[in-house]
């Protein structure tokens, strides 16, 4: 069982620096997860570290190909439309 990195990756290295299994390789600026090294962080921390720091939605998939940071999941949680309009000065 291993996670994988999609082509949405921006090569920021964050995952590589936090992976406790040293499972992330980079070659020609392409980041990949070495399958036999990745244990999905089942032992170390419980939550996959790469997916916990990755800044891009849908860049990391679980073993079944499901996105660990699906669309919208990394957006700010504190804003609603009303607050945005207020900041734009469109409502008081």
Give me the residues that bind another protein (CB under 8 A), please: 10-14, 16-18, 22, 25, 34, 37, 45, 47, 49, 52-53, 55-56, 74-79, 83-84, 86-89
Q: Which is nearer to another protein, 4 or 56 (CB)?
A: 56
Q: Which is nearer to another protein, 2 or 53 (CB)?
A: 53
- C-beta of 30: minimal distance to another protein in Å? 13
Q: Which is nearer to another protein, 17 or 63 (CB)?
A: 17
Environment class of 33 (CB within 10 Å of its CB; exposed 0-12, middle 13-18, buried 19+): buried
């Amino acid at each position: 069982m291993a996670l994988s990195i999609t082509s949405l990756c921006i090569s920021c290295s964050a995952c590589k620096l936090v992976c406790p299994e040293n499972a992330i390789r980079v070659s020609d600026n392409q980041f990949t997860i070495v399958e036999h090294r990745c244990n999905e962080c089942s032992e170390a921390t419980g939550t996959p570290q790469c997916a916990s720091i990755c800044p891009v939605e849908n860049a990391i998939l679980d073993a079944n190909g499901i996105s660990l940071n699906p669309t919208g999941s990394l957006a700010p949680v504190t804003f609603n439309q009303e607050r945005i309009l207020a900041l734009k000065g469109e409502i008081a």
